Amino acid sequence: MKVSLAEIVEGQLKEVDLEIEDKIRVLSYFGDEIPLVTPVVFKGKAYDANGDIYIKGIVESMAEYSCCRCLKKFQQKIIGEVHEKLIKEHSPKAEVDEYFLIKNNMIDISEIMENTLILSLPMKIICDENCKGLCLVCGKNLNEQACDCEKDEIDPRLAKLKDLLQ
């Protein structure tokens, strides 16, 4: 989705409020696809500070994750903060990847929203801090049901040592 910043680029306004809703279906992140189950909302503003144009605001949506321990699907709000300098096309910095470009007085707000959400993804996706995960032997979800499998509960440091000895 493109948003016009003409009034700021041309100097009529110093600041414009932006409230944008866009549909981004999935976030692609290192080969993982994380579905977004609600539209992505951006609330913030674009403003001119001494001739440089910035965008600032909050991006929000609801993501559907799969727990990395028990594989259960769960939904969780995802919120990211944007504060980026926007670079005008044809300016010397326009080639630099890390900036968002203003082309024909427009910015690609979807790209900014998507990037912000990807950076805001949790490091570790778990349904609950106390998630017990799946049994490595029988595959049961141990949050729902205990099992009687024999598990080698070896201290990971000792396991390393055991590997070395073999």
Residue numbers at the binding site for Zn ion (CB under 5 A): 67, 69-70, 127, 131, 135, 137-138, 147, 149
Give rounded-to-5 percent helix, strand, coil for the chain.
Answer: 15, 40, 40
CB atoms within 10 A of CB 142: 18
Nearer to Zn ion among residue 104 and residue 145 (C-beta): 145
Please state the closest distance from residue 149 (CB atom) to Zn ion, in A.
Answer: 3
Please state the closest distance from residue 158 (CB atom) to Zn ion, in A.
Answer: 22
CB atoms within 10 A of CB 154: 11
Q: Give the torsion sign (CA, 119, 124, 130, 133).
A: positive
Q: What is the DSSP string of 91-127?
A: SGGGG-TTSEEEBTTEEEHHHHHHHHHHHTS-SS--S
Contact 85, 99 (CB under 8 A): yes
Nearer to Zn ion among residue 54 and residue 74 (C-beta): 74
Nearer to Zn ion among residue 129 and residue 155 (C-beta): 129
Please state the closest distance from residue 39 (CB atom) to Zn ion, in A.
Answer: 27
Nearer to Zn ion among residue 35 and residue 133 (C-beta): 133
Please state the closest distance from residue 28 (CB atom) to Zn ion, in A.
Answer: 23
Please state the closest distance from residue 23 (CB atom) to Zn ion, in A.
Answer: 28
Q: Please, which contacts does 89-96 make with residues 24 or more away whose CB atoms are closer than 8 Å?
A: none
Nearer to Zn ion among residue 74 and residue 99 (C-beta): 74
Q: Residue 61 is which amino acid?
A: S
